[in-house]
Amino acid sequence: MRILLTNDDGYDQPGLLELENLLKDEHEIWIVAPLHHCSGTSHALGLYASMELKEEGPRKWSLEGTPTDCVKVALMEVMKDNPPDLLISGINPGANLANNIFYSGTVAAATEAALWDITSIAISVQVTSLGRKPFFRTASSVLKSLMETGIAEKIPEGTVLNINVPEVEPEEITGMKWTKMARFAADISFRQLEPGRVFAYDRYRSLPVVDPLDSDVDAISRSMVSLTLLDSNRTSSAVPPDLELTDGSS
């Protein structure tokens, strides 16, 4: 299988290298990933600056752009004659759960590929302490297990499989669960560096969620792997309001 790897942390970061080492013996691996750290950039594009693409090794490039830029350049330039069968974005050090999915460069990169009907996976591992080393080996073992089930052939077209792995050793995982995206009931507060004038986001902390049942946040809290299908088509399934609308015809 031809697999494109990317992330939002940088082309030389350990989570990406873990993926490469896991997959390189059985698959054809291509890497196009950001030159610099791009966490929290969501689906941003580098529209107002040039982006240098630099070859870092065989089938491996860094791009001075966002994760979404990396996927676009990979699909439209680097791999235009050899499109990938699968894109995997990660392994991100820090879970991408609930509202944070919208801000995630890791998930955005996978979503960009899904928009073009490329089978896509985003994988992240929970990190609850800044001083603690991420459990990349656990995330790697989870992905290996899922790949052996043929998951890449089973992901519905136009969706992203968002995998979140708990902060435990592989043998301490209590199971895997299909989940829904939670919604936080509160938000991270700001720190006022200069009262009323200079602000910074406070450190991340666990937040309560609305309706935790079967959610990604709940699964992780119980040391389970959360598997969530995210749709790249953002049209709501809700019934539109009953309005009298003209159809534009004369």
pLDDT above 70 (res 250):
no
> What average pLDDT does range 151-174 have in this prediction?
96
User: Looking at the DSSP assignment, which residues form a beta bridge with residue 63?
Assistant: 34, 53
Selection from 207, 214, 189 nearest residue 199 by Cα: 189
180 sits in the region (left: phi over 0; alpha: psi -120 to 50; else beta) called beta
pTM for this prediction = 0.93
- 3-class secondary-structure state, position 111: helix
Q: Provide the strand spans (E) within the chain.
A: 2-6, 28-34, 53-57, 60-63, 86-93, 119-125, 159-165, 175-178, 183-184, 190-194, 198-201, 209-210, 224-231
Calculate mean pLDDT across residues 90-116.
96
Q: Which domains does the chain have, with CATH numbers?
A: 2-181+214-231 (3.40.1210.10)
Span 142-153, average pLDDT: 96
Confidence of residue 191 (pLDDT cuts 50, 70, 90): confident
Of 18, 4, 19, residue with least CA distance to 109: 4
Q: Average model confidence (pLDDT) for the chain?
A: 93
Sign of torsion over alpha carbons 173, 174, 179, 181: negative
Identify which has the larger pLDDT, 213 or 204: 213
| pLDDT (average), residues 91-115 | 96
The span from the CA of 29 to the CA of 76, in Å, is 17
**How many angstroms separate the CA atoms of 104 and 91, rounded?**
12
Structure tokens at 65: 């752009």
Q: Is the pLDDT of residue 149 over 90?
A: yes
